[in-house]
Amino acid sequence: MAKTKRAQKSKSALPKKPKAAAVQKLNNGRPGSKQEKVLGLLRRPQGVTIAEIMKATGWQSHSVRGFFAGVVRKKLGLPLLSQESDNNRIYRIVQGGKEDPAQHQQAS
């Protein structure tokens, strides 16, 4: 009897939904933690710069960008928008799609 190879299943190209644990953590985050502080700054209507987050948390700029990619976008699945203003980049989380996406670029 000859062994047959199994076809590998391809991953879906659909965007991932936040994991249930991540959603629960988003709702039950520790008050006063750096993560909660940064998410609060990102939820402000005027947004926040990387420099402001660095000052609030004591993180370096590469750590802030890593937090955006790893926690905000991947783990929590939140829509992070980026907009250039006066040689600074403003980041913010927009809830409910209230903003016109043609005016903004997603942060990479």
Number of domains in the chain: 1
- For the segment 45-83, what is each residue's pLDDT rounded down to a tens digit? 999 999 999 999 999 999 999 999 999 999 999 999 999
Q: Which long-range contacts (CB under 8 A, 24 or more apart) does 42-47 make?
A: 42/72, 42/80, 42/91, 42/92, 42/93, 43/92, 43/93, 43/95, 44/92, 45/92, 46/90, 46/92, 47/81, 47/83, 47/90, 47/91, 47/92
pLDDT at 10: 56
Residue 49 in any domain: the answer is yes
Q: Is residue 83 a part of any domain in this protein? A: yes
Top pLDDT among 84 and 17 is at 84
Residue 82 domain-assigned (yes or no): yes
Q: What is the CATH classification number for the domain harbouring 58?
A: 1.10.10.10
Examine the pLDDT at 96 and tell me if it is beyond 70.
no
